[in-house]
Amino acid sequence: MMQHGLLKKSALLCFLVVAVLACDKLPFSYTKIGDILKNPAAFDGKEIKIRGKVTNVTKLPFVENRFYNLDDGSGQILVTTEQNIPGMDEKVTVKVRIESMAIAGNQSIGLHATEIKRL
């Protein structure tokens, strides 16, 4: 009887571990880029997930960071990455940190997303 209860607890623990590890892959909890653009101060410094289509890519020689624009239909944001740049029109999902050089009122200067992880 005691082994059966331990087995159930072990199975539940395994399920919870897998669920937590899969959280980045679940199809919810994405932030709309338009929401970030409307209220950049609310997102500044926060880590969030966004997804969309790559609309522009930039790679400068001798510079580690690469840049691409991501458009989800509600708006577009510049994403910086040290990884390989996704292809034009490729649909990507990324975990990012929203950053601004400065925020005055509700206007952001230098608003961009720094890629933490491509999902």
**CATH number, domain with residue 54:** 2.40.50.140
What was the pLDDT predicted at 5? 58
- The answer to the question of residue 62 being in a domain is yes
Number of folded domains that form the chain? 1
Which residues of the chain are under the pLDDT cut of 50? Answer: 13-14, 16-22
CA atoms within 13 A on the CB side of 117: 7
- The answer to the question of residue 88 being in a domain is yes
Domain span at residue 97?
28-118
How far is CA 23 from each of CA 63, 70, 73, rounded to the nearest angstrom? 33, 22, 24
Can you tell me the distance from the alpha carbon of 44 to that of 33, in angstroms, rounded to the nearest whole number? 13
What was the pLDDT predicted at 65? 80
- The answer to the question of residue 46 being in a domain is yes
List, for residues 74-93, the tens digit of each pLDDT value. Answer: 999 999 999 999 999 999 99
- The answer to the question of residue 99 being in a domain is yes
What was the pLDDT predicted at 103? 76
Kindly calculate the radius of gyration of the chain based on its CA atoms and give it in whole angstroms.
19
Dihedrals phi, psi of 35, to nearest 5 degrees: -65, -40
What was the pLDDT predicted at 18? 46
What was the pLDDT predicted at 2? 52
What was the pLDDT predicted at 20? 44
Can you tell me the distance from the alpha carbon of 54 to that of 23, in angstroms, rounded to the nearest whole number? 23
- The answer to the question of residue 90 being in a domain is yes
Mean pLDDT for the chain overall: 83
